């Protein structure tokens, strides 16, 4: 496991998408198959014995890590999408972002009552998006095992909305 190489592959883009935001660009990591594979393997090693029934990937960059991990764990991959993107019956939650507000949705039939759920996203900033997905999984009566991230921004307060659920981050920046 080479955390330092993974860390060095994350590009910081100042003032994107607006002034004051330090955007963490993961595209260099994704362009290096050995590093991308290493990230998936780190997640796999952590969750292979956790009896995960479904991984909920958060749009959009959470999909990048959630889908291959779901295949490797042989479990379902469930989409948590921005409002207005899913075609069937949905549950919706609204949330605040670091730079605005949004909504997120899941199909009502995407989880079974009592399913063991892993929620995956690329980055944890304030926790607003994750909290909204937690609310959706709770509405669908899923059992959240853990929250998993490639990157956790440690200078931002993300503890309050997520205090009662274990979280794991490969990188703390």
Distance CA 134, CA 11 (A): 28
Residue in 46, 59, 98, 146 annotated catalytic: 98
Distance CA 11, CA 139 (A): 36
Q: Which two tokens stand for residue 24?
A: 């963490």
Question: Please, which residues bridge with residue 143 across strands?
Answer: 116
Distance CA 29, CA 143 (A): 31
Instruction: Give yes or no: 98 in active site.
Output: yes
Distance CA 135, CA 138 (A): 5
Q: Which two tokens stand for residue 30?
A: 């994704």
Measured torsion, CA atoms of residues 30, 35, 41, 43, in degrees rounded to the nearest 10:
-60
Residue in 38, 61, 105, 152 annotated catalytic: 61
Whether residue 152 contacts residue 125, with contact meaning beta carbons closer than 8 Å, is answered with no
Q: Which two tokens stand for residue 119?
A: 């929620």
Q: Which residues are catalytic?
A: 61, 98
């Amino acid at each position: 496991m080479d955390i330092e190489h993974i860390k060095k592959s994350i590009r910081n883009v100042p003032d994107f998408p607006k002034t004051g935001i330090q955007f963490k660009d993961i595209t260099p990591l994704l362009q290096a198959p050995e590093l991308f594979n290493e990230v998936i393997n780190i997640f796999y090693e952590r969750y292979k014995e956790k009896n995960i029934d479904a991984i909920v990937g958060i749009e959009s960059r959470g999909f990048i890590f959630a889908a291959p991990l779901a295949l490797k764990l042989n479990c379902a991959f469930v989409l948590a999408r921005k409002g207005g993107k899913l075609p069937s019956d949905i549950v919706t939650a609204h949330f605040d972002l670091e730079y605005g507000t949004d909504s997120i949705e899941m199909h009502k039939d995407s989880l079974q009552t009592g399913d063991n759920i892993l929620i995956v996203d690329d980055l944890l900033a304030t926790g607003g998006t994750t909290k909204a997905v937690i609310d959706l999984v709770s509405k669908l009566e899923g059992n959240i095992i853990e929250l998993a991230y490639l990157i956790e921004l440690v200078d931002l307060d993300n503890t309050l909305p997520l205090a009662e659920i274990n979280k794991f981050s490969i990188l703390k920046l």
